[in-house]
Amino acid sequence: MKYRRLGHTDLEISVVALGTWVFGGDCWGEVDDEISVSVVHKAIDSGINMIDTAPIYGSGRSESVIGRAIKGKRQNVVIATKCGLKGAGASIKVDLSAGFIRKDIEASLKRLDVETIDLYQCHWPDEKTPFEETFGELQKLIKEGKIRYIGVSNFDKDLLTKALGIAPVVSDQMQYSLFDRSIEKDLMPACSEKNVSVLAYGPLGGGILSGKYKKPPQIPKTSVKSFFYKFYREPFWSKGKELVAVLEEIAAARGKAVSECAINWVLSHSEVASCIVGCRTPEQVRMNAPDADWELSPEELGRIQEKYENIFGS
C-alpha cells in the first residue's frame, strides 16, 4: 500500500480508504455487522489506514460497527467522519448550524468510542447557515481536542474558497472517476494551489468500472445506485462499457483486476490523496487494495484518455 500526505497535515493516509456507507444497510440492502467488522480488519491488515464514515449511514450504525472493529487498533487508523445531515421523514436535511454540529460530534465520538476524530467533514453545503457559524464551531472543536482537522465534502471551488477564508480546511471529498471528471476544470486546480487534498469517492463508477457487469443490472428503486449514479442508464451505459473494455485489456496484460486499473487512473492525478472504496466483504477489500509496486504507464494513460475523448469528447 502507498501513502500520501493529507493536505498540509501530518497525516499520511493510504491511497485507498475504506468507505463504509454500505455498513449502514439503509440504501444498500441488509448487511451483517460481523462481516462488516471483518471487512475493517481485512482493510487494516491490507495496509488501509483511513476509514471514512458518517452519522447518516444507517442512522449511526456504520459508526457503531467501526467503533467495535477498531478496538485495540485505534493507533493503526485515521478516522474520518462527517457532520450536518439528518433524517427528516423519508428525506434528508442539511444542518451545519453550531448546535447541530455539537450534537453530531458528541454522538459520533460515543459511537466510534474514540476521544478524537482525525478528519471531521461537512457532509454537504448548507445554504441557510452562515459559514462563519459553521467553521467557527469546527475550529472550537479543534481547540477542545475533539477533532484534529477540518474537511468538506461536495463543496465546489467557490464554496471551498469561501470556507478557506475562515478555517484551515485540508480536504474536499468529491465524486471522481473516469465516468465523472467534472471536478477537473475548476476544483482540482484550486485544490492544488491551496494544498487541499481531494478525497475521491465513487472511483469505480458505482461498480461498473470494476468490470463486473456485462449487462445493465436490475437495480431496486430503494438502492442508492438507482438515484446516486447515472451510469446505469442509456446512453451512458453503452458508452461507459466501451471505456471499460480498454481497462479490461490493460488489466489482462498486466495481470491485474479491472478495478485496480480504474483506481490507479484516479490516483494518477496528484491532487488526489486517496480513493474511497466501499467494500461489502473481505474479498472486495483484497480486490480493491492496489498492489503498491505498479502504476499505469504513460502509454496506458494515453490509451485511456484517447478512448475517453473518442467517446465523450475532450
Closest C-alpha to 172, from 2, 12, 7? 7
- Selecting among 3, 57, 201, 229, the annotated active-site residue is 57
Q: How many C-beta atoms surround the C-beta of residue 30 within 10 A?
A: 6
H or E stretch at 1? none
Distance CA 176, CA 59 (A): 26
Backbone angles phi, psi at 104, to 5 degrees: -60, -45
The residue ranges of DSSP E strands in the chain, in sequence order, are: 3-5, 12-14, 16-19, 50-52, 78-83, 85-88, 91-94, 117-122, 147-153, 169-175, 197-201, 272-278
Look up cell 490509451; give the residue. Answer: 303
Crossing angle (nearest 10°) for helices 157-164 and 187-194: 20
Closest C-alpha to 14, from 80, 62, 63, 58? 80
3-state SS, 255-273, equals CCCHHHHHHHHHHCCCCEE
**What is the Cβ-side half-sphere exposure of residue 135, based on CA atoms within 13 angstroms?**
20
Residues 285, 156, 240, CA angle at the centre, nearest 5°? 50
Residues 234, 238, 242, CA angle at the centre, nearest 5°? 155
Q: Is 57 a catalytic residue?
A: yes
**Helix (H), strand (E) counts: the chain:** 11, 12
CA 162 to chain CA centroid, Å, is 22
Query: Catalytic positions, please?
Result: 57
